[in-house]
Amino acid sequence: MRTLLTTGLLAACLGFGDARAGINAAAVFGARPSISALAISPDGRSLAYVAPDPGRGGVLYVAGTEAGSQPLALLRAQPPESLDRCEWIDDGRLLCQLTGLDKVDGEPRPYHRRLALDADGGNLRKLGSGAAGVVFGIDIGDIVDLHGGAPGTVLVESPVVTDGQFALGVNRLDTRTGESMTVEPEHIRGEFYLGDGLGHVALLAVRRMRTGGYDRAGEQYLFRRAPGAKLELFCEWDPETRTGFLPLVVDGKHGRVYGLQSLHGRLAVYARPLDGRDEAELVYADDAVDVGNLVTLGSTNEVVGVTMARDYPETVYLDAGLRGVIAAIGRALPAYRDIRVTGASADANRLLIFAGSDDDPGVYFLFDRRMHQLQTLYVARAGLEGVKLGRMSPVRYQAADGTTIPAYLTLPPGVSEPKGLPAIVMPHGGPAARDEWGFDWLAQFYAHQGYAVLQPNFRGSAGFGEAWHLKNGFRSWRTSIGDVVDGARWMTDTGVADRSRLAIVGWSYGGYAALQAAVVAPELFRAVVAIAPVTDLPKFKASFRDRTEFIMLGAMLGSGDDLKDGSPARQAKRLRAPVLLVHGRADGNVPFEQTEIMDRALKAAGLAHEVVAFDGLGHSLDDTEARATLLERSDAFVRRAFEH
């Protein structure tokens, strides 16, 4: 790893000029971040982070916070496993999570392993087994609380399988000895637990069941009024109707549960007392968008801020002192619009700060509040240092029914007045998600290659309130896909895009949207790139028939002719543009079978297409070489299509 002060020298050594002319764009944009999961020790004197190894591998590094400290490599994960993150248990010990993929009954299922080690690499200990997680496709050994009530201990979920039944409890685990004791007995319908930040179990989320053993959407949250007391209902949450209270953080110090609840059709932050009283205090609400998440600081669960995104992402800090710190750092770093706290020492004196922008992947800093010193730590993507990136701007366009659709337009570097550009429409995944302003490696790659990129937040996207969400982007596909198509027409009608050089690219639901938009408006697009797409809704629904979430998924997808009409594989004869399908064979979110189905449909329709398949990779293709291949192949595919 290199600090910001040395990356220029690194670039020169690799032969890059100031403008980085002649770079392998697919390789540098496809590379995973140079640093991820940056964490600071409770005493504020040490840092831990994960750096990429070739492919999907990762390496844990630990370094001191003093300037010039040399990082020490402590742990390396190699395919088929990846190293997700490592967290400080105390000043001298770390807990790491590794993720892999295994097959159960022929289907890929993720599993997780936990390793604990000292900050000098000593006393490496494997914690738990992945068997139950693989069988049931859930996280195994998720951390309930990094504070287990004694030094070196944590509260960790404890899954048990008996006679084919899965149950989930909580153990207090000593990461130095491997010894554990039960603090919460196993519960048959247990989904996950929330700790209070002080080493106690606060809430248990349980699945809501239908007759016949199938899950219902959402959870019930249970609590105990005192240790050993019976479990009682604390609250319920239904994500389909957005009713009830969704707990996110339990602040044991102040006896409060913070979560999301609907207010005038938008999600707002409320706090409820942990003693079970049915009282909800409004903490923060926005009249335009949903609140997205909560910000905690230091080693406790004290909530200090909330996040949301209008045109630009925002963090609203509830603490006046913290607001002043961020404002001062913003004045010192005027080039960065997105400045936020990502970690803190136990006393909240030393803060990890991330500063980024649309045309800058970002830099990590350390701020000492007592000394009023801002120290540069690491750049987020060293390979892009010196590469000129495009600017992303919030835009609006009108849908066919007159609704104003928010979107982002990223232009090639140096272009300020776009006209007649090759262009890509890039709908996001989800569909219950949204695009936000900021660095986007996929959009920036295409912009670097000369394309204008439009990312529409079509109706069905999350973050804009209940009315915008509709019935979701599948059941309301006619509206959602219509908004995507109208975005493409806006690009050509305004002259931003050359009508003969317009493509559509999407990932997951975005891949579905790319294919279905090309079905709805086949005359618009000259090329379609669908990454990990859903292509046949009835068969996608049927693939979950033997799983407890079958009815829940069915409700999300709908039924009847809409399923068939909304399936691009069943409408393949309407397509005109060539199609590139990209998919990981070990995808546990969208089965690879969905690409195989589309492949057969395209062959039957006699339409030109290509398939790029990656062995052993899941939904996100979180692999440096695979992502580089994706970028290189998709760019070349679109360019060839434009030439014909």
Give the pLDDT of residue 78.
Answer: 85
Length of the chain: 644
Whole-number average pLDDT of the chain: 90
Model's pTM, two decimal places?
A: 0.92
Give the pLDDT of residue 21.
Answer: 57
Residue 230 pLDDT grade (very low, low, confident, very high; cuts 50, 70, 90) = very high
Predicted confidence (pLDDT) per residue in 13-30, tens digit: 222 223 345 789 999 999
Give the pLDDT of residue 209.
Answer: 62
Residue 548 pLDDT grade (very low, low, confident, very high; cuts 50, 70, 90) = low
Q: What is the mean pLDDT of residues 473-480?
A: 94
Distances (CA, A) of 406 to 401, 425, 463: 15, 13, 12
Give the pLDDT of residue 215.
Answer: 55
Give the pLDDT of residue 130.
Answer: 43
Predicted confidence (pLDDT) per residue in 330-376, tens digit: 999 999 999 999 999 999 999 999 999 999 999 999 999 999 999 99
- For residue 391, pLDDT over 60 is answered with yes
In one letter, which amino acid is 635? D
- For residue 91, pLDDT over 50 is answered with yes
Give the pLDDT of residue 189.
Answer: 85
Residue 386 pLDDT grade (very low, low, confident, very high; cuts 50, 70, 90) = very high
Q: What is the mean pLDDT of residues 582-587?
A: 96
Could you tell me what percent of the chain has a pLDDT over 90? Answer: 77
Burial of 162 (0-12, 13-18, 19+ CB in 10 A): exposed
Contacts of 28 (CB under 8 A, 6+ apart): 383, 384, 387
- For residue 256, pLDDT over 60 is answered with yes
Give the pLDDT of residue 6.
Answer: 30
Give the pLDDT of residue 14.
Answer: 25
Q: What is the mean pLDDT of residues 256-261?
A: 97
Q: What is the mean pLDDT of residues 97-119?
A: 82
Predicted confidence (pLDDT) per residue in 191-218, tens digit: 999 999 999 999 999 987 654 555 556 8
* Lookup: tokens for 574: 């309407």
Q: What is the mean pLDDT of residues 396-421?
A: 97
Which range, of 85-94, 335-344, 537-546, averages the lowest pLDDT?
537-546
Residue 37 pLDDT grade (very low, low, confident, very high; cuts 50, 70, 90) = very high
The torsion region of residue 132 among left (phi > 0), alpha (psi -120 to 50) and beta comes to: alpha
**Euclidean distance between CA atoms 93 and 108, whole angstroms:** 33
CB 138 within 8 A of CB 165: no
CB 601 within 8 A of CB 609: no
Give the pLDDT of residue 481.
Answer: 98
Write down the domain spans for the chain. 44-347, 392-643
Please check whether the domain covering 392-643 is classified as CATH 3.40.50.1820. Answer: yes
Q: What is the mean pLDDT of residues 533-556?
A: 79
Give the pLDDT of residue 99.
Answer: 87
- Residue scoring higher pLDDT (513 or 207): 513
**Euclidean distance between CA atoms 542 and 388, whole angstroms:** 47
Give the pLDDT of residue 1.
Answer: 30
Element (H, E) at 286: none
CB environment 128-140: b (16+ within 10 A), e (fewer)? bebebbbbbebbb
- For residue 510, pLDDT over 60 is answered with yes
Give the pLDDT of residue 576.
Answer: 97
Domain at 44-347: CATH code: 2.130.10
- Residue scoring higher pLDDT (278 or 382): 382
- Residue scoring higher pLDDT (71 or 471): 71
Give the pLDDT of residue 105.
Answer: 67
Give the pLDDT of residue 210.
Answer: 52
Q: What is the mean pLDDT of residues 454-468?
A: 96
Half-sphere exposure of residue 232, counting CA atoms within 13 Å on the CB side? 13
